[in-house]
Every structure is written in structure tokens, then in C-alpha cells.
Amino acid sequence: METQEIDHVGVVVENIDQAIKFYEEKLGMNCIYKDVLNDRGLKVAFMRGKEGETTIELLEPVNHEDMNNTVAKFLKTKGQGMHHLAVKVSDISASLKDLENKGLTLIDKTPRPGAMGHTVAFVHPKSVMGLLLELVQH
């Protein structure tokens, strides 16, 4: 697998609107995308600095009490903070096959729709030294 660049860093937050305000007012970033992903039970927003392409994805569970939702569970057990690192790949299906052939444990064996119309897949943290890795194809 060959990554093109870091796409974004995912950060779990208690309140997405307050987090957007913080990133805008304190860090001078802009909210470039905001949505509710009902199929995943998530509110998401992407923040970007004035220059560059890398973004920060803010994630808030729609239902904070739903322990079947991995983000709600993360928030309850670990609190707010970094959730995942996403890397951009040119061929997500080939990247998944390559990582599986190299012995990594995939959460998603096939890509799925993600935010902003991108295709995504996750690799289990136990395979990536404790880091949840997201592959993103634009």
C-alpha cells in the first residue's frame, strides 16, 4: 500500500457546535463541511486551516448513550480526543488487499461510503500499534 498523504485526523468531541466554535475562534480554522451521517449515528464537521489540504474531522455521536456506536463508546470510556488517523490512497480496494496480505486485521474488508462523498475503510488498532487507521479514497 502506498499512501499519498495524511488526509485528516479524527477527533471525538462532546458537542460538535462548541468544538467548531473553538477551532474557529481559538485556532483560526474554518469549517468546510458539516453533516449528520444517520446511517452511522454521527455528526461530523471538517475543519481546515487557511492553507493546506489536511483537515481535522470532528465526530460527535448522535446518541451519546448508544454503546453500540463506537464513537459514543469511545467518548464514554476515553473522553474527548484523537480517535483516528486517515491517510489518502489512490486505490482503496487494492490497499485493503495489500494490508490484509501483510497480516493486518481489517475492520472493513470492503470499502464503504464516508463523509464528503469519499470512500473509506478502517484497519484495526491492534494491527497498527494502537492507532485506528482510516483509508480514504477521494
pLDDT digits (tens, 9 = 90+) for 22-52: 999 999 999 999 999 999 999 999 999 988 8
Handedness of CA 56, 61, 64, 66 (dihedral sign): negative
Which residues, at least 6 apart from 80, have a Cβ–Cβ distance to it below 8 Å? 11, 12, 13, 14
Q: What does the alpha-carbon distance between residue 83 and residue 50 come to, in Å, rounded to a whole number?
A: 23
Whole-prediction pTM: 0.95
What's the confidence (pLDDT) of residue 1? 87
Which amino acid appears at position 53 of this protein?
A: E
What's the confidence (pLDDT) of residue 115? 94
**What residue ranges of the chain have pLDDT lower than 50?**
none
Q: What does the alpha-carbon distance between residue 59 and residue 36 come to, in Å, rounded to a whole number?
A: 10
Partnered with residue 6 across adjacent β-strands are 87
What's the confidence (pLDDT) of residue 52? 82
